[in-house]
Structure 1
Amino acid sequence: MGLRATTLAVIGTILVLMIVLISSISKVIVLDGYSRLENDKILESAEQVLRMVDDEVGQVKIVTGDWAPWDDTYQFVQDGNQDYIDDNLSDSTINNLPVDFIIYIGPERNLLYCKYVDPETEEDATCPNSIQQFALSPFIQRSDENGETISGLAMLGDVPAIIAAAPIMTSQFTGPAMGTLLAGRFLFPKEIQRLATKIGLALQLESLAGSDLSEDFSLAREHLTTGAGKAVVERIDAKNIAAYSLLFDVQDSPILMLGIKTDRQIFAEGKKSLLYIIIAICITGLVCIVATMLFLETRVLSRVVRLNHEVQDIGTSGNLLKKATVEGKDELAGLSSAINQMVDSVRISTERDRAILESMEDGYFELDLEGRITFFNQALAKLFGYPEKNISDVHYRHLMDRKSASQTVQAMKRLYATGRPIIGMETGFTLENGKQLFLESTISLIRDADGMITGFRGIARDVTERKKAAEELLYLAYHDGLTGLFNRKAFYEHLKNELLYAERYSQQRSLLYIDLDKFKKVNDTFGHAIGDVLLKQFCARVVQVLRNADKFFRLGGDEFVIVLSEPQAHSPEVVAERVLALMKKPFEIGSERIDFVSASIGISMFPTDGQDIDILLLKADSSMYRAKERGGAGIVAAERDRKV
């Protein structure tokens, strides 16, 4: 028989015999008896609580028994004299009685007086409506009709209370009854806690009026209503047991459930006794167990422990050249040989993967589920400018700007939720030297042998130069190369959007078409280089007089357009006048002083002069030429066709 079969046979037989023996003893001899004993004990406690409730009802009943058959009370319900209230119904008097309220109901079945002291503040308070409604109920009126005393529990609103009612008679118990005296005490949580402290048990009351009984109370109520007896016992958990009983109101209807919870001390004692029995059984089998352990130690355990240490050493050191000791020809020897073969395979695969990763120009990285970098190649470190710095355990968000970090977090969440790899995600980073780095990454999930997600792995390629080239091309597509202003393409796209917005919200837009007068003379006289500088200075001057919302475009040569957003009345002319005023100042370019250049400006308005780009531009252009025909250095508005 092999080592594995021998070990399983010996240990299995011992374990099965011990489990069967211990289970039989614990169930038949010990635990069942202790369980019955603890049931009897908690049922006795439940009876004690019910007697205590009866005692509390009796205390309230004593109050009505003392106060209802009393000459002073008999006179008070007839004349309502204030002296009776002052002498007998002060806050201190009520606080010294086992009641929260006393109500006097007159012979006409009317509420004469209610004295209520808030049990929380111990001060006089307004008599609650729930008390008044109960006092005037037909059931309470029976007290003076039949001359009987009513006492017990009642629901006043949604709060349980102990009440007692008695007919108001003379001190000699003669009549006729002049009404009813009702007294009671609310069973607020504080009062319930007082009763629990009095008996030394965890006491809980729940109302049967609603459907929101706790789970254990609901189960106990089913047992109580199916005739299980006056009280039922439920085991809450391994350490606690509870008894439940119904409490009835003065009309003999169930209104409350009483719950008593206590620890299973008796059962714990039973378990302790069982423990002693188990110890005895274990001692009996100790000889067999020792013999088995000696066998395992010499044949198995010592070799398994050594193999475990050797494998752990290989794992923690990362030295895949180490070997496990092979001893003998049994299953453990075969396991050691298999481990050595597996380590050799892992070493070869790891060296191959490392060589591939280190030869890559792209960065490779692995992240745990918290986002920390757990593995990377040198190419990734070089991308971030840390060729000698270990960036392990750095959170990837710490390498990004806020916007890129937010976008990446959302992408990683989608990857985790869907399992679909992220392909070609572009991310921006700000390096320690302040430079911008843009990486294009492909990221997928890392799963363990059970298919559980343990992290992320990805490849990152530097696309910074490509990104910059694309941004430069985009800039050149929408900007004038000489002045840096928006060009004709940008003008058409911007104005199209502006007109759509203005039309939707019934707004105006204005175009100022500007052409420089005598600019050709500048190029002919001073050369194109001087002319280019003049155009730049002109643009710089105009930008200073525009609002942030207004846009300035160069259409070509010496032709420019200003688009005014939300122009007010005459504001286009005001802006145009400012432009003309700028031209009065000579242009100083090197040693040259040019003072003959002016500007002609044509104005068109949306929607007055046109509702599409071509018409507005045509009218502004035509107005500009009319300004030139009139000598230049002027302004012509298309709508008015006059020189301003």
Structure 2
Amino acid sequence: MTIRKKTLGVIFSLFLFMGLVVYIIIRFVLINGYIELETEDMIKTTDQVSNQMKDDLLKLKTTVGDWAPWNDTYQFIQELNESYIQNNLMYTTIANLNINFMLFIGNDGRLKYVRGIDTENETAIQEKNDAYLPLLEENPVLQRSETQNEIVAGYARFNDKIVRLSSAPIMTSQFQGPVMGTLVIGNYINSREIDHIEEKLKLPLEIKKIDPGKPVEDFSINKILPQGHRFLIKRTDSLAITSSVLFESLSGKPLFIVEMKKRRDVYIQGVHTLNYLLLALGIVSLFFMAIMLIYLEKNVLYRLLRLSMDVKKITLSGHGNNRIMVSGRDEISSLSLDINQMLEKLWENEKRYQILFESASDAILLLKGDKIVDCNLKTLELFGCEKNQAIGKSPCFFSPEMQPDGRLSDRKFRDIIETSFSKDSLLFEWLYLNKDKTVFETEMNLTCISLPSGDHIQAIIRDITERKQSQRIIMQTEKMLSLGGLAAGMAHEINNPLSGMMQNAQLIENRLSRNLPVNVKAAEEAGTTLSSINAYMENRNILKLLRSINNSGIQAAKIVANMLRFARKDNSEKLSDNIVALLDNTIELSQSDYSLKSNYDFKKIKITREYESDLLFISCHSSSLQQVFFNIIKNAAEAIFNSPGKDKAPELIFRIMKNDAMARVEIEDNGPGIEEKVQKSIFEPFFTTKGPKEGTGLGLSVSYFIIVTDHGGKITVESAMGKGTKFIIELPLMTS
């Protein structure tokens, strides 16, 4: 898409967006204002209807308040005299009061007399008491006791009609008692009542009864009217608005709704005003948009198109000496100058980069997939080839068939390439071949980079053969330091007494148990027989003790074998071994180490083993791992016995467990602990807290290298002052 089309699209979208924003703002401000006015008008109308209903209820309360505290009514409830009925309960009297029935209830709660009106015959009649019993049972608040003197008024359902009720205690005209009963009067809210309200308010109304048990709309979203009624305003469409007032029964349950409906004249006027305003804004916007496009085309778009064509020409022909023509003194002219300056700097940077690339001390390759697309001189020197021999080939071409972990080089490298695209940087070790097919070790750093031609990988290769050799020397040196103590142990504890112990034990057993003439003669000269000596030996388990001495010699020989295996240099190939047996062998070696026995009395340390399994196989250099375990055990023993104020028995806890695909080894002591600042440097080479003649500071750094680099595991330390130290080692389990 050209910049001209983009500009047209942006301007059109901008004006459309601005029009939409203006429309939303105007609609929000103007239309919402009209809606608020419409709502306020509807609330006023609703309030008028509610006030009218309240006035009618107050009239009923006034009527019952006049009739109940009256001497004639007081006498009638006691005597039911006919004169009261003839004089007061006539049709015209009741009809003028807008009453449909009157109930006279005694103190015992029973209806004594019921007076209603027949609207068809225009006569007052005495109705059956039983007909009004359901009304009283559903609204017990109407019935009075001697202590209930207030007037009650409200609404109820009776004979599937809505009735307005009011009740008051029957007393004397002086409001004196005792209360002789209750007077209840009521009138039906029917079409005549609604017509009366409509005529008064000039507004159509509708009464909607609420069926018991059916859900009622939520009337709580609006405020409550001053009369205490809840109301709900609805806009059914764009032409009409309705308001509903909820009226509850005497028992507080929803009973009926009075609904009023009006035309939305205010809202319709607001919509027309909005449409006229938007039409005017649209015409003005189109006019300004046309002027803006003509100006941009003449002063910006055409000149940018010419600048773009010049840049394309330079790109196709190379940016050596080609530059853009500059005309004018505006921003586009300034941009042209900036592009020319950028071309100069690009040319300089390209030459500088080429010099750095070719003179780098590390081999640098640019890979597309797993193929080499460019490389520097150090790469050619490292692989011993020409550049045309390297371009287009995979680095695996210069690698041995298999890597140290047993995987094929080409398959492993493809997996690494796929992984590098999902990571910022990937560092790993790799074997390559010299020109004479000699294997050398390297460290590769892969970084994914994006170029105009697509995603590439920058590979930096560093020969680490000498560094690896130095690490092996350090490991062997540390191992030899450890073997110094072991050798002394062998000299003092095993080698000297071992042969004599086993020979003498065998000689004693032969002289006391074998039936040789010399033995028989010596027994007779001592005044006994060889068989008696044999019986004594068996009874006293002396021969068994002699065999135990031989077993001890065998155990000592095993210790010598373990120490010799520990001192032997690792082969380059890792072998499968049981980490449980490795740890147990190292503990056994530690118990016989001369320096540990002489300096710290290692046998006084309580050894606790907590092994989850007796068989956890890993691929490892066994002697290297034994060196790690021995270094940690030795450090723990030194910490335990050199801690001041030791008030608990020394203990070492060894734990082995399976943690997902890793074997987890924990070596915990109850020594004084390690300070936090020391923990941060504990695995650094030549870092030590011991004196100059007590340690080299290489033990734990070599251990870290063995676990992390050589075996792909983890080693961490957890410690707190006064709470001991725990070293945690995790090594990958064998998958099969």
Answer with 1 or 2: which has the greater Rg: 2
Question: TM-score scaled to structure 1, two decimals?
Answer: 0.38
Give the structure, 1 or 2, with the largest relative contact order (CA under 8 Å, sep 6 or more): 1
